[in-house]
Chains A and B, each alone.
Chain A
Amino acid sequence: MKFIQQLAASILNYRDRIAFHINGVDYTYAQFLYKIEGIRGSIRSQIPDDEKLIGLVTHDDLESYAAILALWFEAKAYVPVNPKNPAERNLQVFRQTDTSFVLDSKPDGSLNQFELINTAELGDESDLSVLKPVEDPSKDLAYILFTSGTTGLPKGVPITYSNMQGLVDAIDADEPFNLAPDDRCLQMFELTFDFSVVAYLFPLLAGAGIYTIPQDAIKYLYIFKLIKEQRLSVLTMVPSIINYLRPYFGEINAPSVRYCSFGGGALHFDLAKEWSNCLPNCQIFNYYGPTEFTVYSGYYPYHKETANKSYNGIISTGSPLKNVHYLVADENNKEVSDGITGELCLGGIQLTPGYWKNPERNKKVFFNYEKNGEIIKYYRTGDLCFKDEAGDFMYVGRADFQVKIRGYRVELAEIEYHVKNVMKQKVNVVAIDVLNRLENAELALAFESNNFEIDYIMDYLKEQMPPYMIPSHIEFIAEFPHSLNGKIDRKKLRTYFKL
């Protein structure tokens, strides 16, 4: 696979340059290589060839990134879990993927039923002048990420090496975005979140530096610190993160930043405009793309004077990348005319082979459609869009009850599922998203009942779901508001929450 060879070449070429800046410490590409080769040695001696899906406990350290590259150079896939998530959820992930080997640089004993490889002590300096990746059949998987599922079980999205090559080719073909070895790039994402892939992959391919956020730091303040002290030049971020800095935008002037890529949630026009004033030399990209389509499928190049197309205050998602097919479809998978709102469907080489062991879900969201004499497999994203006369796609809203919390996809039904699973009271409960004073989405639970003790419910939720999925606001409402057609009026329900 071409990008794997390119990664190997880049690591060898730039051995004296900074690859990572983690928790205040710089690591060169040579140090990175030493770690990668050490971990590869253990993989080769301990893991059988046919074991492809390897667990990775993600930390903010060099070992976690080296483990990913080591697995790729050995033609295996990483299945990341976050040690801050409940143990039960992480076990569910490994059970679903039949994972038996796990790489971890800080084992805490919670995963002792697996074959653990402690990556902290590993390193190999026998010969750091060559780096030969194992040749891999392109259909093999590169990673599997799990996102919130409506049935209470996390949903696995497998991504192949071909999917990734498709992403790399599409970004390479795109003129405006080109990283160089002297770029200093922000990597603010947990490795269980697919946005992290572009935040480490493209800098590594270019021999650039990757600047991470310590796990217990307040992200938005640390980002400001990195921009200021390390003069970052490339930012990749979710819009909600800079909402927190908004009251202080007047103090931010970062001429070093040349690219700022947004993704993982709607980018509001007024926020983009104010933020662009803080970055006088910066091009802003509003990327769009679900995990199922290998991070990015397209983007809109925002510019406060010349390109600021928006709909309902939300910046356009723009047009598809090279070799990506967009189709706006109705409920029957038929294309609608330009200007008409429908569900955005994506086709092309970056599309996942399908949800992991989930034929029912796959039948629902993937379909074949003939366009210009070619049959293409499409994925229904759940995002409602229309195409304008210039060919740009405008985001309108969601077709279902999925919300974005700090960039993470959350199925409200999954939260309701877990509440109902443990709740002794027989009352209605609804999970909704509400906006806080900084205009960021938070999760709330509404019970149709008089007050009762819910500590046991919250304790249970914390055992089942990652921290970002735990509702932070609770209201008891005697009678839920209903719309004319008899459904619970979620819009009105939100007004009961005073934030």
Chain B
Amino acid sequence: MDKEQLLLKITEAFSKVLEHNNFELQNETTANDVDGWDSVTHMMIINEIENLFSIKFQLMDLMNMQNVGDLVAVLEKELASKA
């Protein structure tokens, strides 16, 4: 799966949890840029992504995530270790 497809699927998880799609996810996107993305919905989004890709993030990785780019990088790492 290439980066674009990953982002598309992640976007799906975001819209499902946030109940809207008024956002465009890019590497630099942070919680400040997306309406409703806060500490409460963050874990739901993470959970949704875990389900979508059938993976489980590690707390150590979640801890240092600053933006969507970090999220994609961690996701790629998880997918690679699964493969």
Contacts and interface: CB of A to CB of B under 8 A. Distances in A.
Q: Do A and B bind each other?
A: yes
Interface residues of A, number: 22
B44 A436 contact: yes
Contact of B40 (A216, A225, A228, A442): A442
20 contacts: A216-B32, A220-B43, A221-B59, A221-B65, A224-B59, A224-B63, A225-B64, A228-B63, A244-B43, A245-B59, A247-B47, A248-B58, A248-B59, A248-B62, A251-B59, A251-B60, A437-B47, A438-B43, A440-B40, A442-B40
B54 interface: no
A220 B44 contact: no
Interface residues of B, number: 16
A218 interface: yes
A458 to B, nearest CB: 11
Of residues A218, A245, A406, which shows the largest number of chain B Cβ atoms within 10 Å of its Cβ? Answer: A218
Interface string B1-41: 00000000000000000000000000000011000100110
A459 to B, nearest CB: 13
A225 to B, nearest CB: 5
A303 B8 CA distance: 46
A225 B63 contact: yes
Given A218-B31, A248-B59, A438-B44, 19 more contacts: A216-B32, A218-B42, A220-B39, A220-B43, A221-B65, A222-B63, A225-B63, A244-B43, A245-B59, A248-B62, A251-B59, A251-B60, A252-B59, A406-B40, A436-B40, A437-B44, A442-B40, A472-B36, A472-B40
Interface string A211-251: 00000101111101100100000000000000011011001
A244 B32 CA distance: 20
B43 A219 contact: no
Nearest to B39: A218
Given A247-B47, A251-B58, A437-B47, A219 B63 contact: no
Mostly helix, strand, loop or mixed at chain B's interface?
helix
A112 to B, nearest CB: 26
Of residues B32, B40, B42, B65, which shows the largest number of chain A Cβ atoms within 10 Å of its Cβ? Answer: B40
Contacts of A216: 32
Contacts of A252: 59
A224 B59 CA distance: 8
A188 to B, nearest CB: 12
B56 to A, nearest CB: 8
For the complex of A and B, the 7 pairs showing the least CB-CB separation, nearest first, are A248-B59, A218-B39, A251-B59, A244-B43, A225-B63, A221-B63, A218-B42
Contacts of B47: 247, 437
Nearest to A248: B59
A400 B40 CA distance: 26
A436 B43 CA distance: 11
A217 to B, nearest CB: 8
Interface of A: 216, 218-222, 224-225, 228, 244-245, 247-248, 251-252, 406, 436-438, 440, 442, 472
Interface of B: 31-32, 36, 39-40, 42-44, 47, 58-60, 62-65
A222 B63 CA distance: 7
A226 to B, nearest CB: 10
Contacts of A436: 40, 44
A248 B57 CA distance: 9
Contacts of A442: 40
B67 to A, nearest CB: 12
A221 B40 contact: no
B54 to A, nearest CB: 15
Contacts of A472: 36, 40
Contacts of A251: 58-60
Contacts of A245: 59
B31 to A, nearest CB: 8
Of residues B31, B36, B63, B64, which shows the largest number of chain A Cβ atoms within 10 Å of its Cβ? Answer: B63
A222 B64 CA distance: 9
A384 B36 CA distance: 35
Contacts of A218: 31, 39, 42
Contacts of B36: 472
Contacts of A219: 39
B19 to A, nearest CB: 9
A32 to B, nearest CB: 28
Contacts of B40: 406, 436, 440, 442, 472
A342 B47 CA distance: 40
Contacts of B63: 221-222, 224-225, 228
Nearest to B57: A248
A222 B59 CA distance: 11
Nearest to A442: B40
A220 B59 CA distance: 11
B17 to A, nearest CB: 10
Contacts of B39: 218-220, 244
A248 B58 CA distance: 7
A437 B42 CA distance: 13
A216 B30 CA distance: 11
A440 B39 CA distance: 12
A220 B42 CA distance: 11
A472 B39 CA distance: 13
Contacts of B65: 221
Contacts of B60: 251
